[in-house]
Structure 1
Amino acid sequence: MCGNNMSAPLPAIVPAARRATAAVIFLHGLGDTGHGWAEAFAGIRIPHVKYICPHAPTMPVSLNMRMSMPSWFDIHGLSPDAEEDEGGIKRASENIKALIDQEVKNGIPSDRIILGGFSQGGALSLYTALTTQQKLAGVVALSCWLPLRNSFPQASAINVNKDIALLQCHGDCDPLVPFMFGHQTAEKMKTLINPANVTFKSYRGLPHSACPEEMVDVKRFIEKQLPPISTE
């Protein structure tokens, strides 16, 4: 329905080195594309895992003086009380759910798929995991926040992913999405999913970016949640 109408090119993909029995769908941040993240995952690839890094459509972004850039949804501000683009967030989430459905049709069960993202992409991955009816293997949320966080107290009760594993990472010198936002998001997530499954890692001196130590932690998380299975 609305799954293929994003005005964006096909995702950047790192194919599995052998037959793919699992997948990671990872969403880039504001103004970026999936190519850099595809390169990053190529450096930590696991042989049976396919990595899919879609590109956001281009749209005017209020935060950046309405300049057009790749963006999953509009952002009005980065403060906790900033107005949020509810319609845009929900539309973007439906597109990501359609991407998950496509991988299921390709033969990878949803519970062998990890959803993740950086910054705005991480925010969208958290929102999608909490609203989808697709049971996922895990979520990786880097340098991000939970959008529409006040809409969840009642919705989480029926969420199929209430026992999902979450790895949340954040640099303690982030000037764009402050470390405190990340920490508060992790505490909020502990009220929405099994708190024992929430891992929050901080990185000393890291600004609004990723680092090699963080990517090693991401790889370990993926290895744990998506172990190889016999394809015989």
Structure 2
Amino acid sequence: DPCLALCMCGNSMSAPLPAVVPAARKATAAVIFLHGLGDTGHGWASAFTGIKTPHVKYICPHAPTIPVTLNMRMSMPAWFDIYSLNHDADEDASGIKRASENLKALIDHEVKNGIPSHRIMLGGFSQGGALSLYTALTSQHKLAGVIALSCWLPLRNSFPQASACGANADVPLLQCHGDADGIVPVHFGRQSVEKMKSLINPANITFKTYRGLAHDACPEEMVEVKRFIEKQLPPI
């Protein structure tokens, strides 16, 4: 679908079509899952093939290729620029907002195709998880849930302290992190969860850590993801 490619790209060059794991029967729900820096959607599409639910469609977009400051300005797949891995570093606010608008356009596309937003779940790993958290907090679409793996909340100081995140004030959130993550340390995840508790209903937040897990996913975590998807997106 050419519209998918256009709406996932913030510039005139179109990003490749997302990797899609189709539902085994009529799709009544969708999971949109974003990869991390330098990756593509293919690996995550393969991971979801292993835990798929028959009525759920899994969409794993590919980020556009852009110069990344952290990578000495070399070009690589990225949802937005990253200047540093320091927790208090400046952030690419315009890039994050642009990428978030593109992700909202992809949600719109699925809604127009007949899957209501409350049957659409956002998720992502690392930079993709960061973008999913930001988008859920700024979207007018009421979402089914958010899966945030090995990530952080970007532009965290732009959100009010009060629980005032509109459509998704009650969104269920599954956040997971390896305790041996040397790229996005687990304390970034913990700090993000504490901030999220001030923004959405804390009763709907689940935070899991995995002993010895580096900046990666593990089978136990994927079982948890599968359970979360099946709970929030039951058959209808």
Cα distance in 1 for partners of 2:9, 2:34 equals: 17
Distance in 1, matches of 2:57 and 2:9, equals 23
In 1, are the aligned partners of 2:179 and 2:211 still within 8 Å (CA)? Answer: yes
- SS where residue 160 of structure 1 aligns? helix
Contact kept? 1:131, 1:155, Cα under 8 Å: no
Q: Provide TM-score, normalisation by structure 1.
A: 0.96
The answer (yes or no) to whether the contact 2:161–2:198 under 8 Å persists in 1 is no
| 1:36-75 deviation per Cα after TM superposition (whole angstroms, max 9, x unaligned) | 0000000000000000000000000000100100000000
The two structures have a TM-score, normalised by structure 2, of: 0.94
Cα offset, 1:78, TM superposition: 1.1
> How many residues were matched structurally?
229
What is residue 233 of structure 2 aligned with on the other side?
226
Residue 76 of structure 2 is aligned to residue 72 of structure 1: no
* Unaligned segments of structure 1, at least 5 residues: none
Aligned equivalents of 1:171, 1:154: Cα separation in 2: 27
Percent identity over the alignment is: 79
What runs of 5+ residues in structure 2 fail to find an aligned partner?
A: none
Summarize deviations over 1:102-140 as a string: whole Å, max 9, x none.
Answer: 000110000000000000000000000000000000000
Q: Say whether residues 1:13 and 2:20 are aligned partners.
A: yes
Contact 1:130–1:156, Cα closer than 8 Å, also in 2: no
Within 5 Å, which residues of 2 pair with 1:146-185? 146-153=153-160, 157-185=164-192
Residue of 211, 215, 233 corresponding to 1:208: 215
Please tell me the residue identity of whatever aligns with 1:184: Q
RMSD across aligned positions (CA): 1.4
Please list every run of at least 4 consecutive aligned residues from structure 1 whose deviation after the TM superposition is greater than 2 angstroms. 1-7
Whether the 8 Å CA contact 2:150–2:215 is kept in 1: the answer is: yes
Structure 1: distance between partners of 2:227 and 2:160: 31
- Give distance in 1, aligned partners of 2:45 and 2:229: 15
Within 5 Å, give how 1:60-209 maps onto structure 2. Answer: 60-153=67-160, 157-209=164-216
